[in-house]
Structures are given as C-alpha cells and as structure tokens.
Amino acid sequence: MSLPSAPPLSTTPTLLTPGPVPLHPEVQAALALDMIHHRTPEFDAILARVLRQLSRVFETQQPVMALSSTGSGGMEALLVNTLSPGDLVLSVDSGKFGERWAEMAKNFGARVETLKVDWGHAVKVGEVAGFLKQNPETKAVLCQACETSTGTLHPIRELGELIHHTEALFLVDGITAVGALPLPMDQWHIDGLVGGSQKAFMLPTGMSFVSLSKKAWQAQKRARMPRFYFDLQKELAANQKGETYFSSNVTLIRALDISLRWILDQCGLQEHLLSIERRAVFTRRYAHEMGLQIFTQAPSNSLTAIRVPEGIDGQALRLRLEEKYRVTVMGGQDQLKGKVLRIGHMGYLPWHNLQKFFDALPQAISELSPQWRSPRDLDSLRLEMQGFTHHA
Ligand SMILES: *Cc1c(COP(=O)(O)O)cnc(C)c1O
C-alpha cells in the first residue's frame, strides 16, 4: 500500500497568514530527521540549549518552559498556576482572543470582570488604573499584547508600569508578539507571558512557551485552580533535571533549536524584530497608496488588517487571492467577517512572497469591482520592494 503523497510544491499557495506561518527551509529539514528518544545525551543538549535561548527571546532572567500544547494551553497554564477560584480578574476584551481568555478564566472559577474595548482600539491605561483603584483586591489583569483578530497592539509597557505597583499580576498573551515585537518581559514588568510555536516562533502548530516572574512564582504557591498537565512547578523541576515533565516534543524542540538560532544568532533579536517591522511598515504604506484603510487605530507589526473596499465581499476577495493568485491570507471573524484581510508578517517570508500578494491584491480587487482604481500609481513602490534583500 502506498501512502498519499503531498501535493507538488508549485500548487501550494504562498502562506501569508498570522499563524501558521511559512517555515524556514532548515526548519523543514529538521522536521524530517529520524526520530530519537528524548532520554538521550543528544536530545538533552538540545533541550538545555533551547530553554536557555527562549529566555533570551522573552528577555527575562526567569526560566521559560516549553509545553506541548497550542498557544491556548499556555494561556491556561498562566491562569491555573497563579490564581484560585473566586479570585477577581480583570480581562481586557478587544477581540476574539481576549474573549477566549476571559471565558477560560471563568471556566476555572475566577470572578472575571471584562473590560470591553471596541475592536480596533487599544485599551486605555487609565481605565485599567481606575478599575484597580476601585478594586484593590484584583488578583490579575489579562491582556493580549497583540489582539490578532484585529491586528491591534496594546500598551503593554504602560500597563506593566501601572500593575507592577499593585498586588495584581499582569498576565500577557504574547502569542503574536513575543519574538515578533519588542516585549522585554522583565523590563516591562510582565508577570506571566505566553508565546506560540506557529506564530512568531516560525514553527508548526503544537507548542507554547511560558514564563512567570518572581511575583507570579510567589502566587503559584497559593494558587488553587485545578491543574495537572500544566503544573508549572513540576515542569520547572523536570527542566532543572534536564527533562520535560511529560514526554518531550522531540520533533518540534529540534525545529525550535533551528528557529531560535535563526532569530538570535543568524539575524540577532533586534534585527529580526526590525525585519518584521519593515514588512509591516511596507504593507501599511502599500495599502495607503492603494487607497485602502488599516482597520485598527493601533497597528501591530506582527500582522496587518486591511479594510476591504466598500462594496466588495472580503470573503470572495480572500478566496480569489487563494484560488487564482495562490496566496493565502486570512479574512475577519465575527463582526469583521468579509470586512478585512489579515496579512501576517511573522515567519520565514522572503520579499518575493510578499510581492506576490502586493501584485495580486490590486488585480483581484479590480476583477471583483471593475470600476475600482488604485488612486496612486504603485510602480515606484513595487520597484522599491524589488530592491529589498532576500529576507530583510
Ligand atoms: C493564535 C492565538 C492564540 C491561540 O493559539 P492556538 O495556538 O490556536 O491555541 C491566542 N492568542 C492570540 C493572540 C493568538 O494570536
């Protein structure tokens, strides 16, 4: 019997979504290596190196733990390790992921107050300050660094300054931020931070990375939310013995070793973040030249949500880009369904892949809406893009 084979590469659309993201060729090669056991000196060395390097990306003196779960598992780990049922939690809800985290905290018995923020707006630090002043018993504030459903960046540094002076913990979902934007955990007083493999870490889906501050480890001793798989104290104890609490995700950890080397050594963290910023800045400029609007008031560099022009069905546009032009971007969810395209700037993204999208977009729009014209000539921007180096 023969196994079904993968479609030929030429038919795979270019992936430009905010997770999953395209993989570096060396990461792909690492994923195809022979399996090894996780109790081997060879794997021990990789695990030790990866855990050390993760702390450099998180910019923390604290240990970072690598969990076999999608990002949402890491979000759960932060909650159940720091909180108890009945604890008052303020949850910033500015989109799909904020909604999810509040829901999760409720399920584990927290008393959740949601701070609703209009989609496409950043949370106002003053509102969080007001809440904490009136509710000094608040145990944690939950916030996305980047709310991926709208492409919005929240003022994490300012929130950290504020929350640091209170009893509350500051838990941050950095799944489309840590490794993609400046988010130094220690310097910005973040107490719990989670990253995800298929977003900024440029890997397939399946791992989350979490770290707790000293203040959060203190809270861990008192936290009584039920936990078993995501017991970070046990995970840390295993890591200190050179192991993971459960079977190690050998395949993804080996691949992570490659992507961390790429981020930290090949590029250097600052340069890596800058390259993502350049893609974001260029995308916003291009959209602007095309007369299109960016959805959010506070755009994040990890992805751009572009408003679909009036009268065009965004879902049809997304589909056309994929089927005819072989470029996959994301549409919007819920209230943004059919109204935005979301383009990811994380992952292994040579400029010619972005160029494919920028060439296709005006064409696909005019096919759906023949009277549509770009208000400006796009040739000079296209030329500029051709001058960009391979991955810059
Ligand atoms: C993708 C994402 C998640 C959820 O990650 P899963 O890996 O799908 O569990 C959570 N938060 C944000 C901000 C994300 O972008």
Report residues whose beta carbon is within 6 angstroms of any ligand 1 atom. 19, 70-72, 97, 144, 148, 173, 175-176, 196, 199, 205
Q: Which atom of ligand 1 is nearest to the CA of 145?
A: 13
pLDDT at position 348 is 96
Contacts of 136 (CB under 8 A, 6+ apart): 166, 167
116 beta partners: 93
* Peptide bond before residue 184 is cis, with ω within 30 degrees of 0: no
pLDDT at position 389 is 63
Return the structure tokens found at 79.
């909650």
- Distance CA(168)–CA(260), nearest Å, equals 32
Name residue, tokens 């709310």.
147
From ligand 1's centre to the CA of 136, what distance in Å? 30
Name residue, tokens 């296709």.
360
From ligand 1's centre to the CA of 94, what distance in Å? 14
Distances (CA, A) of 354 to 15, 89, 177, 259, 348: 10, 40, 20, 20, 11
Cβ pair 117, 92 in contact under 8 A: yes
pLDDT at position 3 is 74
Detail the DSSP E strand segments found in 179-271: 192-196, 208-212
Q: Which atom of ligand 1 is nearest to the CA of 196?
A: 7
pLDDT at position 6 is 66
From ligand 1's centre to the CA of 184, what distance in Å? 20
- Determine which residue's CA is closest to atom 2 belonging to ligand 1: 175
Detail the DSSP E strand segments found in 88-189: 88-93, 111-116, 140-144, 146-147, 152-153, 169-173
Q: Do β-strands 192-196 and 208-212 pair in parallel, antiparallel, or remain unpaired?
A: antiparallel
- Distance CA(5)–CA(150), nearest Å, equals 36
Q: Which atom of ligand 1 is nearest to the CA of 148?
A: 15
- Distance CA(121)–CA(299), nearest Å, equals 9
pLDDT at position 390 is 53
Q: Angle 223-175-283 (CA atoms, 0-180°, nearest 5)? A: 155
pLDDT at position 7 is 61
Q: Which atom of ligand 1 is nearest to the CA of 208?
A: 7
Question: Which of 148, 181, 197 to mutate to test ligand 1, by most ligand atoms within 8 A of the CB atom?
Answer: 148
pLDDT at position 11 is 76
In tens digits, the chain (392 residues) has pLDDT values of 677 776 665 678 999 999 999 999 999 999 999 999 999 999 999 999 999 999 999 999 999 999 999 999 999 999 999 999 999 999 999 999 999 999 999 999 999 999 999 999 999 999 999 999 999 999 999 999 999 999 999 999 999 999 999 999 999 999 999 999 999 999 999 999 999 999 999 999 999 999 999 999 999 999 999 999 999 999 999 999 999 999 999 999 999 999 999 999 999 999 999 999 999 999 999 999 999 999 999 999 999 999 999 999 999 999 999 999 999 999 999 999 999 999 999 999 999 899 999 999 999 999 999 999 999 999 999 888 888 865 54
- Distance CA(319)–CA(331), nearest Å, equals 9
pLDDT at position 274 is 97
